[in-house]
Amino acid sequence: MTEFNPSDHPHRRLNPLTNEYILVSPHRIKRPWQGQVEPPQVLNLPQYDPACYLCPGNSRAGGLKNPDYEQVYAFENDFAAVLPGPLPVAPPALHPLLVPEPVGGGCDVIIFDRRHDLTLARLPLEKLKEIIEEWVRVYHRRGSQDNIKYVQIFENKGSMMGCSNPHPHGQVWSLSAIPTLPATELGNLKRYSLTDVPPSSAPKGSDGKPCLLCEYAHVEVALKEDDSRVVFKNEHWVVVVPWWALWPFEVLVLPYKRHVPSIAELTNEEKSAFADVLSVTTKKYDNLFSCSFAYSMGMHQRPIPVSEVADGQDKFDEAHLHLHFSPPLLRSATVRKFVVGFDIMGEGQRDMTPEQAVARLRSCDTVHYLDKLDV
């Protein structure tokens, strides 16, 4: 009988956050590619674009004019996906399978910098700290509003991830319901916190209960480098290609020294370390294929600040702050992974193993490739 080798043989891995399996098919990375190739990226963006609706002083698509901002700038999205309340009353359902659920809330755009040609990877640490503080402010502001049950912070970078404007920016969508994916994660985190797990020196959650993500980060950090999937860590944060990663160079970014339910509960020192880890992660991404690396990034945490949770309502103390980076590029700056076919109809599938991906990312420099060209 052939001895199993995870670097060569197909196998499945369970994502405990979603309770879904990922099919890993490492031998398929050798297959020839004659499919779609993405067009080369434009690298010579101007520092200011008079046609850009996010540049300072310009008129936005909705008709309002941006101030001549110098710092991080946030405004309500002119084309919000959800609208403020009060919520309309849904008509009687025609059938139990056809029940509409009205949802309300608000959407914000956060512009990271006035310069049109920069990204998180090219911003100084002080600017990244400003962005983190703005995330905290919006989390508090939206989370304190009536009927808001969840605040989702995210960034889409690159046209292949649906970003409609290259100016460096992210978004915050705040809803009157907890969206499906975070709700699933929170449910699995809660179930794990209520189970009997083997004794561990990993940080514990509320009331000494086990935390799934604290335990996972603790395991990855403790493993020898050849066995671990850690890309980078500093005093408070770790970047890991998760055991269950779907996207080729997907990473999970999270605090690992203590249980932290939300961004609002970070210390100043942890925020500084957060800025550092954002800088390193995005630089390594860009350096991987010497391009402005596309991704979707999303922050999962306690749905709203604990100070805004009404008496008797779930505080979601089992939540552990973490960021998902889901990048599509696979073989080069122009060949991406497509989530189609079996990924949609069966279960998520990847070719390159997470261990192969982490080796590639570890080898990438923490000095941006464009900064080397400027020397």
Write out the catalytic residue numbers.
Answer: 169
Q: Are 23 and 342 in contact (CB under 8 A)?
A: yes
What's the Rg (C-alpha) of the chain? 21
Q: What are the percentages of helix, strand and coil residues in the chain, rounded to 5?
A: 30, 20, 55
- Integer Cα distance of 229 and 243 in angstroms: 7
Provide the token pair at 256. Answer: 């690992």
Neighbouring C-alpha atoms within 13 Å toward the C-beta of 359: 8
- Integer Cα distance of 186 and 193 in angstroms: 10
DSSP state of 329: B
Provide the token pair at 310. Answer: 């009404």
- Integer Cα distance of 176 and 180 in angstroms: 13
